[in-house]
Structure 1
Amino acid sequence: MNILVIGANGKAGHRIVEKALKAGHQVTGLVRREGAIEGIPTIVKDALQLTKQELTQFDVVVNATSAFTP
């Protein structure tokens, strides 16, 4: 299965990525800055700017984002 994890470098997203990889899935992470996560393909973009065309290549899209508080 081809999975996109939005917020792949966060607490929940990181765990989701690990579990999906262990299960043998292809995983791509969506992150806001280059180099935020290593070991998987990434899309560097604001999640709110994703297009339908970008999402259709994935079987599953997981939203692991939360509100940022400093």
Structure 2
Amino acid sequence: MGKTIDIEEFEQKFDAGEDISEYIDWSSARRPSVAARRVNVDMPPHMIAQLDVQARKRGVTRQALIKMWLADRLEQAA
């Protein structure tokens, strides 16, 4: 997990629409009542390397980054 802040500051940032991802440990985040299914996606090595760079910048795992990005994109497409 990245930086830590108190709950009041976190809520202010969230309410203001600021990026709060650096304060969340996405690798351990869980959504109750949502069953996970495994999906395999083949990618060329250069894409995996770029994903790893972006994941490290955010302090999350590659898998967490992919899930966040897919969730954002699916929400935009809805």
Q: Give the TM-score normalised by the residue count of structure 2.
A: 0.25
Higher relative contact order (CA 8 A, sep 6+): 1
Larger radius of gyration: 2
Identify, as 1 or 2, the structure richer in helix: 2
Identify, as 1 or 2, the structure richer in strand: 1
Q: Give the TM-score normalised by the residue count of structure 1.
A: 0.27
